[in-house]
Amino acid sequence: MLRNRDEIVGLPTDLERVRTILARVGKGPIAAFAIKPVRSRFVLMKQASTHHGTVVVEHVIDAPVSRVYAAFANSKEREAWGAPSDSTAYYYEEADFRVGGRDIARCGAKSDPRFIVEARYVDITHERRVVWTETIREADHALAANVTTLELISEGNRTRLTVTVQVTSFVGEDMISNTKSGHTGSLASMALHIEQSPSR
């Protein structure tokens, strides 16, 4: 019987069912687990987990640096393109784009944006670079702590964006790959948003 995310208890004959549940649970951005036999029961115990990775994502947008930077600096615009896909949500509860400022955003499935992202801006170089730290949580559970750098390089009337994320995941290696796919989707959404709103 699945009591909560930290424990699955069943009879030995239920081992295959427990493994199935474990495989399903392990796909999400939550803690890593292991099955530990205890007499005639199997208990799923949460393990301490730390994984490190560096994610680099690039995208070229057909717009000048000034327009691309404005689309990032404005939190209302960021909300418009921040979700990496049509099935996900991304919105701000708090936004303060300045060095030392804090953003608090929610993201996840449109029906359940359960993940909380808290960012602190470390460096802002106008139309060139933005650096921030961020923590990602689900309720009271820390999932990851990252350092993210956004670089903007002018290529005539186009802008090359490079996002570099140094990820510390507390919930397994999937968080690192999820970070890459998330930023890849968000930058593609940003490009589409700017194409549809070339001047603001």
List the chain domain ranges.
2-46, 51-196
Structure tokens at 109: 């499935």
Model pTM? 0.75
In order of 79, 81, 144, 152, 175, the CA distances from 75 in angstroms are 6, 10, 22, 18, 25
DSSP codes of every residue in 87-118: TEEEEEEE---STT-EEEEEEEETTEEEEEEE
pLDDT at 20 over 60: no
Average pLDDT estimate for 9-34: 42
Convert the pLDDT of each residue in 122-180 to its tens digit.
999 999 999 999 999 999 899 999 999 999 999 999 999 999 999 999 999 999 999 99
Superfamily of domain covering 51-196: START domain (3.30.530.20)
